[in-house]
Every structure is written in C-alpha cells, then in structure tokens.
A and B are shown apart, each in its own frame.
Chain A
Amino acid sequence: MQTPKIFESEYRFCLILWENEPVSSRVLSELCKERLGWSKTTTYTVIKRLSDRGVVKNENTIVTSLVSKDEAQKAEIDELVEKKFEGSLPAFIAAFAKSKKLSQEDIDEIRRIIDK
C-alpha cells in the first residue's frame, strides 16, 4: 500500500506521537503545545486530518500511529528520489554521500530503509 503523504509540520507532530504512543489526545495536545507551540484546536485538527488520511488512528481519544517512522521516512525518500533523481537510487545515494561523509554501514542502512 502507498504510504500516505505527510507534510513537514505533520511529520513533526508524528515524531511526538511515535515517541509517546499510545497516548491520549489530551496529553498529545499538551505535548504539542509545549514542543510545537500549537493550540489544542490545531492538534485536534491535525489528528483528524491524519486519521482521515490513514496516518494515525484515534479510538476513544487514544491516538496511535498507523504509519511507522521508518515507513514515513521511506515514503519521503521515495518521493525525493522520484522527483529529483528520476527514480535512480544510486544517483541519490551518490549525491547523498557527496554532501556527507558516509560509512559503508550508513549506506547499507539507507539501502535497507529504501528497500523495505
């Protein structure tokens, strides 16, 4: 299944969720207020939006993720590879390796993520 699109701000939200899930929406809104500067309404709107998109699940005010961090990262990289490297994974890794010194281990790790 195609992993749903997660925008940057939503991704920041997901980071908090992944760290704390399962978590009640009330606690989540407090965490978001503290770390993202979000109002309660904004948090609830985002939960609703992400659950509509199938990224999270809100059952009896307990929020859990349906997409793991790995899946999200993979989807993001897929999109990047598709958009900027014409789908070429090696080109991507090469570019990636150019900008940052990567160990073989790192490269293997990226491959692992992408291959999933």
Chain B
Amino acid sequence: MEDIFISLLNISITASYLVLAVILLRLIFRKAPKWLFCLLWTLVGFRLVFPFSLESALSLIPSAETVPPTIIYQTSPHINSGIPAVNNVVNPIISESFSPEPAASANPLQIITILASWVWITGLIVMLAYALISFLRLRHRMATATLLSGNIYQSEFVQSPFVLGLVKPKIYLPYNIDKNDMGHVVAHEKAHLKRKDHLIKPLAFLILSVYWFNPVLWAAYVLLCRDIELACDERVIRELDTEERKDYSTALLNCSVNRRMIAACPLAFGEVGVKERIKGVMNYKKPTFWIILIAVVVSIIATVCFMTNPKSDTDISGKVFIGSQIKYNYVKNLGISGIQYCITDDMVLYSFTGDNPGVVRLGKLEKSDVTAEELTNQIKGQEKEYPNNPTYSFKSLKAAYVTENKSGPEKRSRYYVVIDEDNAVLLVSMYDYLTMNEADYIGNVEQIDVVEDADYRNAFSSLIIRITKSDYMGTDQVLESVQTYYWDFDENGGSTELTDGLTCSTEGFDMSEGKIEIFLNKELVWVIAYDKETETKKFDFSLGETATLRDTGKSGETTCYTFDFITKEDIEYTDNLVQKAVYTDYNGINVYLSDNSSLDGSIGYAVDNRTDKAIEYGDEYIVYSIIDGKAIKCDEVTGRTWWDMVLYQMSNNSTEYSSFGTDVYEFSDPGVYRFEKSFSIVGEKGKYKMSFDFEITEVSEPVLPQTIDEAVSQAILEDNKPKYYDFGTECSGEGHIILGSDVDGTEHKVYLLTQYSQFGFENGYFMEKAGGTVPAVMTFRKTAEGYELSDTEYPLDGSGYAPSIKKMFPVKYRNRVNNATEEDSDSLWAQCKAYAQAYLDEIGRDEEIRTYSQVERTLLTDVGVSVEVSNKFISYKQLPYNYDIGYYEALENGVRYVYRVSYDKNADRIICTKEAYDTKEIIEKTEIDSLTGEIITD
C-alpha cells in the first residue's frame, strides 16, 4: 500500500503541472470555446488514471518521480523534484530529519509513509462514502418525483433542475418552474446528457477521491465543474438569438441556488458560477476561426509538454550519489526495448536492449562517488558489445532476465542477474512491476556454477545460483532464507522461468548421445547427467546446495553432458518428477508399427493398451531422423494430430476401457526415423515416453490434383479414412460443396461443406456404415504440378463449435454453414452415393445404397432376448459380429466372408457364424446361451 501511495503521490505531482498549465491556458484563452477546456481536463484525467506515460524530450515536467519509492530505505533520503532550488531546500531537511538511525529497526520515513498511507486510504473511503451516501439520499428523495414526459420528472424537493443517474439518467425539475424557463432548462440538461456530463462528473469525483490529498486537483475539479456548465451553456445558446439568450439568462437566474458544497452529483442547472455563466451567455460570440486554431495548437503543445514524462536520459544529469550503497538505479521501460542502469558502490551496469537487442554494455566504477558526467565517461571507456545470437556461450552473456517473484514480501519484484567478466554475479531486483522504474542491488552471489553445452547450446544452458548471506538494502538484514534460482536460456537468449513444482529443460536433444536434465520442485533440485564415456551419474541435492556439475566434466571447460534413459526402478523421487524412458512394452502397453504402414512414405503406429487403466496422451510427439547413429529432430514432418480411436481392448474382461490409437505421418525422404510420444497412466505418477525406430525405404512422389475440386475430394478422403474403423468397409465416398474461396497469390483458401461416408454390405444393402458431415476450410498451394494441400481446418466439437465456425468462416458463409438446408445435405449425400454406385458397378453388384438409418434392424431384445444378455453380448469385444440379428460382409485378403448373427429361440441360442461368401461354408461358429449370455464352449 505504501508503494501505491508513493506512486499516486508522484502521479499527482506530475499531473499538477498539467493542471497548472490548463489553468493558465484557461486564463489566456478566455475567448476560446469552452469544450476545449473540457478536453484539456480530460487529459488531466488520463494522466491521473493511466500510470503509463510516454516520454518525450519536449516534456516540461521537471521530474517523473519526485519521491522515489526507495526513499523509505535510503540511508540519506532525498527527493528528486527536478527543480534544483526545491531539491536544495528540501533534501537537506529530509536527510537531516529522516535519516535512519543505524540501530533502529525501521527507518523514520518508512513509518511516516505507512502512517500517510493509512490517512490516505481513510480519506479515500470518506470521499467515496460521501459521494455514495449523497447520491443514494438524493435518489431516495427523488423516488416520488412524478413523470412529466420522457425522462423528465418533477419533484417538490427539487430546488434547481438537475440530472441524476448513471445508466438511465433522468432530468429533475421543480413543480413551480416557469413555463418560459422550462424550455431552456430542459435544453440545458439534455445538452448535459448528450455531452455525457452525467458520467464525466462522477468519474472526475472518483479520481479526485483517490487524489484527495492534492489541493491542486481540488481546484481542477471545481474548475472542471464550472467548465462543464459553461460548455453546456455554449452548446445550447449557439443557436439562440440575443432575445432568447436573455430568456436563457433569466432562466439561469431563476434557477440559481446558493450551493457551496463540492459534490459528485447531481449536475444542477443553476449550480455553479451563475454570474460568470450569465456573462458568458450574454457575451457569447462565435469564436473566430483563428482563436480556435491558436487555442487548439497551444493546447496540443501543452499536451505534449505536460502529458509526457521527461526523457530519462536527462534524469541522470546533475546527480551526485553519495553515501548510499545504491548510487543510482533506474530502468527505463520502452515497451519491448529498454535501458537498464544499476550503479552500486563499485559497479555500473548499463544494458541496452533496444534497437539492437542483446547488446550489453557494462562498466566498473573506480570510485564510489561519481557525477553523471564521470559516470558517462566511465561507461564509455569500458563498454563492450556482446552479440546476441544463438552461438553465445553462457559466460559471455553478461546480463539476463531471471525470474519474477510472485509471492512473499518482495511481491511484484523481478530479479535480474548480471554477470561481469570475472564471473561475479549481481542479483538485481526490480521493484515496481508496472512501471519497472526502480531497481535495487541485492547482493553478490556467493557461488555460481555454469553448465554449458556447446554442441547442444540451443537445447541447454543452465545456471544454478546459491545465495547464502547477503547485505540487503544496505542494512544488516540478511536474506531470510537461502534461495536457489534455476533457469535456462532458450536459443533466442531468453530464458524459461521455472515455476513451482516441476520443470525440466531442453528440447531437441540427441537421444543416442544422451543429455542432461535438471529438475526442480519445491523441495529439491534433481540433476541427472550421463556422460557416454563414463558411467551414468545422478546427482541430487536439496534446495540451497550447490549443483557441482563440474564433477562430470573438467572444471571451467566446455563439457558435453549427456544422460541415460532412466528406468522406473531407478527413480527414487517419484513425486512430480518426469520419467523419461523408451518403452516398447510397459506393463501391457505396446507400441508398434501398425499393419497398414506402407513403404510409400507414410507410417502408422499404434499404441495398444492392455492394462486396465486408461492412458492419457499428451499432444507432443517428436520425430527424429537417425543419421550415423545420431538422432536429429525433424523440423517439418507432415503429420496429423493425435487422436484416439475407440476400439476397446479389454484386459481381463474388465469393464474399464483402454484405447487404441493410430497416427499417420508422411515422410519425404527414405531413411531411418524414430518416433517418440509421451503419455501418462491414469492413477500413476510420472510421464512416459514411448519410442520406436522404423525405416522408410521408398518415398513415392504423390500426384497432385489438377483442379481445386479434385484436390478437395482427395483431401476429404485422405483426411477421413484413417479416422474410421474400417473392418467391413469396402468403399469410401465424399461429397463437398464449395461455398467460396479466397485467392492470395498461389494460396487458395476454400470454404466448404464436406461429407464423408464409408460403405459396406449389410443385410442386403450397400450401407453407409460410418461417416460425417462437417464444414471445413482448406488451403491449397498452387504449384506447377497441381494443387497441394497446405492446411485443413475443422471446427471444434461441442461448445467450441459455434466460436470456431465464427473464426473460420467469413460472415457471408456462416448462415449456410450453421443452417444446413435439405438441398445441401441431399447434394452431399448424392455425391457420396455416386462413389458407392461406381464401386458396385465395378464389382458387379446391384444392392440398393442406403444410409445407416434407412436400414431396418432386428435387435436381440426384439426377438425376446433379455436386456442383460444382449448387453453382455455387446461386451464380447473379441467377437467381430454386429450387435443385432443379421449379417455383414467383409473382405479379408481378397476373400469375401459373411459375418452373421441369428437367434434360435427353441434352443435358446444366439448363433454367430463366419461363412465363406461363395460356398456358404461355415468357417467359424460361436454359440451363446441366450438365457445366461455365456459363450458356450464344447
């Protein structure tokens, strides 16, 4: 709260300069239109509400931060008003009175600030309570006001007409108002509503409540209220002639009341400055163009000068820092770029990350008391440039963002670590999270160990810092606890913040070479390192211990750390730790290439889960290319996202289910590849990685379709085929309606309604066994060879559907997408059906083509089998039969079979037979007792 108070104090001081400028402008440009003043007051409001402010060299504000938030910690407190005379008078007094006694536990200024903060918050509450209570009281009194017309009400409690209410503002008039006055009064109040004054005034009062301690802002509020009325009058009388203006003035006089209270509401007609207003009305002349122009220009200049904070560069000038450990610290935030300074007793850190990100300069100070000029010279002499590119070695990265502290006493602070050439480390904490305008030196870090991996630098650079005892804020305070920070840098020179709990490093490692991993959770830091030339090493240490990774390599030299795959048994820390392992068989989970993998550049793999637990797949998969025994991560693999297919595979016939999934990838080059995917087992801790190697021997060049229409057809079929279980399916068909397309160079974005259908023979029909209708957006790239699919987008399921349609489709298509017409669905089905018909013609069959719902079926329960038994029948996953009475056909290695289910009522048997299609010979037969549901074994 003290921080908030101090920053509000600073904001209000900078805004006061603007207020004074506006008051001056008001005096100079009395003839200017009054709306301009209102606009200027709005700028004051902006200045007060938004803490961020642009910086400009033209700024006339002496100092953006008169009272530094660190004042409460400074050994010799001083303000920085930006006006030397003020500083010279005030600072010695402050220093004299408020310098902390070395023995005292708290600094006198700190206590005063805390007290002031409480006074401020109390005042704020009083102000708000006053506004709220007076608003509620007035509204209560106006409850009995009677409707005149529209939003105009009358009440005997009204002395002077006013507007009340925020959302539905109403105009209140007294009963005895003169008919002649009424028109003017209503016009005035309506002008208020049009100008939104009924919102502006309470808002201004709210802002005033926050800054109640600043008298300049009280003056601003009073003047704002006056200018609002003047501007409102101006708006009304602009269209009136002299006679009417006289009437208007009379109305003003008649309705004037002697109100001395400053209030948030209401907006009263005769409330403020009646005399001034009547003068204004009677003397009103349309402001000449030149006056308006000059006033506007001057206002803009004033805005630039007083809305912006001074350039921080100027801030450094004329400063001598004496006596405190922190001589000067300042971080200027310029959005994505920034300048950081930190000056301590013996060091200046100056880092610039602006136009040329990552260029870090720093210098050492030879003496402790310096002027800005000396400082600049020091830096100039010693600055060095370090290029920031992925090849930096960690040691040359001299300053880096570290971590953000979200809890604890230093909440809202950020830590920066800065390493100088001698590997001494400074930890710098950033204060104000929002404005980033203060930094403090915390202390030297006692020990630093740098782990560097030159070969895998993109993957891993890591640093663990231990702080044991440090001077804190220039007092004898010791950091409360030993802290360990861990972070790693990504290839862009940034870093990944490690949150509480677990995080691990690295990506793109070489599995054959091994790697290093560091895990961190609240209790411990855990390091696994494996050197392929030596043995597996594992280091674990508690928080606060130093990670002496040098053990596995030569101290101070670049060492390639590697690690071994750890089996589950090797891992002692099971809580929250990731396990990395290659499993082709883990307790019943098998990963294998699926049978339909071909050698034409695509592979499918399957995970067969035979445990009685569900497994959860993450979305991450990595494909490596194995070259000379090394695994190199493939950047671009045409793959389709993971999905689960519902083919249940039970273990011990339990009712829990597990899932079976496949994924298809296409490869452009022959070679040996490794596929890796992570998963976890529900109910078990840790994650597993499964991986397998496979070889692609041949990659055939796909023939690209020559028209968009063909390309769409091909894309729909290829997209959908792998998604559906295809046993008994003989033919796939698709239908699509192109709603429109956007062409951008070679890119064709096509908006579509699509349908996919799979057909098979069932109960005398060629039946649509599976399929779906879905809107889609496909993007094709036109090449010399034809149209190449580059992207397919489908809407999300469930509640995500409507938003994703909105995102995918331009408005003009949405209605058609959302409200499928019969015509469209008939067309889609007709197209799918054509594929089925072509197939029938090809194989010489003439069954009728029907959808699933068009085919009648006889359920087991229809013929008298109990519900329990029919449910049990369905649960026999090993039986590849339909669940109802009838048959379907399936082609197996080119031979056609019939899978039939029939019911023998007399024998109480459900009979399942697999017959050869041609000879009707029964190949397999399973009988089930229709009373018990048990499979009958001979």
Contact = CB atoms under 8 A, between A and B. Distances in A.
Contacts of B459: none
Contacts of B871: none
Interface stretch (B116-124, B142-150, B199-207, B707-715): B142-150
B592 interface: no
B144 A37 contact: no
B156 interface: yes
Interface stretch (A7-15, A21-29, A54-62, A108-116): A7-15
Nearest to B144: A9
Nearest to A36: B146
Interface string B174-203: 010000000000000000000000000000
B156 A8 contact: yes
B70 interface: no
Contacts of A12: 146
B143 A45 contact: yes
B147, B155, B156: which has the most chain A beta carbons within 10 Å? B147
B756 interface: no
Contact of B145 (A9, A41, A45): A9
A20 interface: no
Nearest to A35: B147
Contacts of A92: none
A9 B156 CA distance: 7
B143, B146, B154, B155: which has the most chain A beta carbons within 10 Å? B146
Given A8-B175, A9-B155, A9-B156, A42 B144 contact: yes
A39 interface: yes
Contacts of B153: 37
Nearest to B153: A37
A9 to B, nearest CB: 4
B144 A10 contact: yes
Contacts of B145: 9, 37
A45 B156 CA distance: 17
Contacts of A41: 143
Contacts of A10: 144
Contacts of A37: 145-147, 153
A101 to B, nearest CB: 18
B143 A39 contact: yes
Interface in B138-182: 143-147, 153-156, 175
**Interface extent on A, as a size class?**
10 to 19
B603 to A, nearest CB: 73
Contacts of B156: 7-9
Interface in A29-78: 35-39, 41-42, 45-46
Contacts, number: 35
Interface in B454-469: none
A12 B146 CA distance: 7
Contacts of B146: 8-9, 12-13, 36-38
A41 to B, nearest CB: 8
A41 B140 CA distance: 11
Contacts of A45: 143-144
B165 to A, nearest CB: 12
Nearest to A37: B147
Interface residues of B, number: 10
A35, A37, A39, A46: which has the most chain B beta carbons within 10 Å? A37
Given A8-B156, A9-B156, A36 B147 contact: yes
A10 B156 CA distance: 10
Contacts of A36: 146-147
A96 to B, nearest CB: 16
A13 B156 CA distance: 13
A38 B175 contact: no
B244 to A, nearest CB: 25
Interface string B106-143: 00000000000000000000000000000000000001
B149 to A, nearest CB: 10
B158 to A, nearest CB: 10
Contacts of B147: 35-38
A38 B175 CA distance: 16
Contacts of B144: 7, 9-10, 13, 38, 42, 45-46
Nearest to B147: A37
A46 B145 CA distance: 11
Contact of A42 (B143, B154, B175): B143
A45 B153 CA distance: 18
A67 B153 CA distance: 26
A13 B154 CA distance: 13
Contacts of B155: 8-9
Nearest to A10: B144
A13 B145 CA distance: 10
A43 to B, nearest CB: 9
B578 to A, nearest CB: 63
Nearest to A42: B143
A26 to B, nearest CB: 18
Nearest to B170: A37
Contacts of B154: 8-9
A36 to B, nearest CB: 4
A36 B152 CA distance: 10
B143, B144, B175: which has the most chain A beta carbons within 10 Å? B144
Contacts of A13: 144, 146
B338 to A, nearest CB: 56
A59 B545 CA distance: 84
Interface in B419-461: none
A12 B175 CA distance: 11
A7 B147 CA distance: 15
B234 to A, nearest CB: 31
A70 B477 CA distance: 87
B860 to A, nearest CB: 62
A7 B153 CA distance: 15
Nearest to B156: A8
A6 to B, nearest CB: 10
Nearest to B148: A37
Contacts of B175: 8
Contacts of A38: 143-144, 146-147
A12 B145 CA distance: 10
A61 B155 CA distance: 26
A10 B117 CA distance: 49
A36 B175 CA distance: 13
B167 to A, nearest CB: 15
A65 B68 CA distance: 71
A54 to B, nearest CB: 18
A46 B156 CA distance: 14
A106 to B, nearest CB: 22
A46 B143 CA distance: 10
Contacts of A42: 143-144
A35 B147 CA distance: 7
A7 B146 CA distance: 12
A36 B142 CA distance: 12
Nearest to B175: A8
A38 B147 CA distance: 8
B621 to A, nearest CB: 63
A42 B144 CA distance: 6
A105 B359 CA distance: 102
A46 B155 CA distance: 14
Contacts of A35: 147
B154 to A, nearest CB: 8
Contacts of A46: 144
A23 to B, nearest CB: 18
Contacts of A39: 143
A75 to B, nearest CB: 15
Interface of A: 7-10, 12-13, 35-39, 41-42, 45-46
8 contacts: A8-B154, A8-B156, A9-B145, A9-B155, A37-B147, A38-B143, A38-B147, A41-B143
Nearest 9 pairs of A and B residues by beta carbon: A37-B147, A8-B156, A9-B144, A42-B143, A36-B146, A12-B146, A8-B175, A36-B147, A7-B156
Given A35-B147, A37-B145, A37-B147, 11 more contacts: A7-B144, A7-B156, A8-B146, A9-B146, A13-B144, A36-B146, A36-B147, A37-B153, A38-B147, A42-B143, A46-B144
